[in-house]
Amino acid sequence: MEVREAISRFRACRSFHGRPLEPDVLERILQAGRRAPSSKNLQRWHFVVCTDREHLTQLAAVGPFAGHVAGAAAAVALVTPEADEAWDRESIAFDLGQCAENMMLTAFELGVGSVHGTVYEQELARELLGLPDGFRCRYLISLGYPAEPDALTRPLRKGGRKPFEDLVHRERWSRRRPTRRGTASRSPSTSASAPRT
């Protein structure tokens, strides 16, 4: 599968078939996370892989939008070191996003559905995952073969992504009127050279 195809077709999957993931499939997904780039190549991440059904059911309680974990074939808890400085926290979060995307796009290529689960209940996650001091888990990734065959490739819902021209700036930030159809027009009063008001 071409990278661009995976990027343009990927959809979050929250409903899974009961079938377990084959060990080599799970390993390929984890290897893709391990391969991610990171600031100064620090690789500030560990992956706790959970496949036990009862454990997954317990983990689904770590956040109000993590219910999908209960039905997943596996959940990968993304564990990072705690950091005092905001700069470090942002850097870790940036790296982790790339790591997660690598895993999810690889899963997609293998026909495996995935979605993030944000951890709100930090202490519960710490206990369930047996995390040592100095580490935390902010996100889990649910993985599994999709319950519905077309779940991985269903079209984006209407308005599923902001229009290109509302996001992309040329040379300098420019203020444009957001449009509904992606044909953002720049009004004379908001051109890049116009004085800011």
Ligand X SMILES: Cc1cc2nc3c(=O)[nH]c(=O)nc-3n(C[C@H](O)[C@H](O)[C@H](O)COP(=O)(O)O)c2cc1C
Q: Which tokens sit at 60?
A: 């689904």
Residues 6+ apart with CB under 8 A from 77: 47, 48, 49, 50, 59, 125, 129, 137, 139, 140
> Min. distance of Cβ 138 from ligand X in angstroms?
8
Q: How far apart are alpha carbons 126 and 83 in whole angstroms?
A: 16
- Residue length of the chain: 197
113 binds ligand X (CB under 6 A): no
Sequence letter at residue 103: M
12 binds ligand X (CB under 6 A): yes
Q: Between 153 and 183, whose beta carbon lies closer to ligand X?
A: 153
94 binds ligand X (CB under 6 A): no
Binding mask 43-82 for ligand X (x = CB under 6 A): --------------------x-xx-x--------------
Q: Which tokens sit at 136?
A: 């935390």
Which residue has 């995390």 as its token pair?
Answer: 131
1 binds ligand X (CB under 6 A): no
What's the distance, CA 34 to chain centroid? 15
Q: Which tokens sit at 83?
A: 């950091």
Q: Between 33 and 117, whose beta carbon lies closer to ligand X?
A: 117
Span of 28-36, 38-46, 111-119, 188-196 interacting with ligand X by CB under 6 A: 111-119
115 binds ligand X (CB under 6 A): yes
Residue 114: name the closest of 86, 91, 145 by CA: 145
143 binds ligand X (CB under 6 A): no
* Strands of the sheet with 46-50, listed across from one edge: 46-50, 74-81, 135-144, 113-118
118 binds ligand X (CB under 6 A): yes
> Min. distance of Cβ 10 from ligand X in angstroms?
6
136 binds ligand X (CB under 6 A): no
116 binds ligand X (CB under 6 A): yes
160 binds ligand X (CB under 6 A): yes
Chain residues that interact with ligand X, rule: CB under 6 A: 10-12, 14, 63, 65-66, 68, 115-118, 156, 160
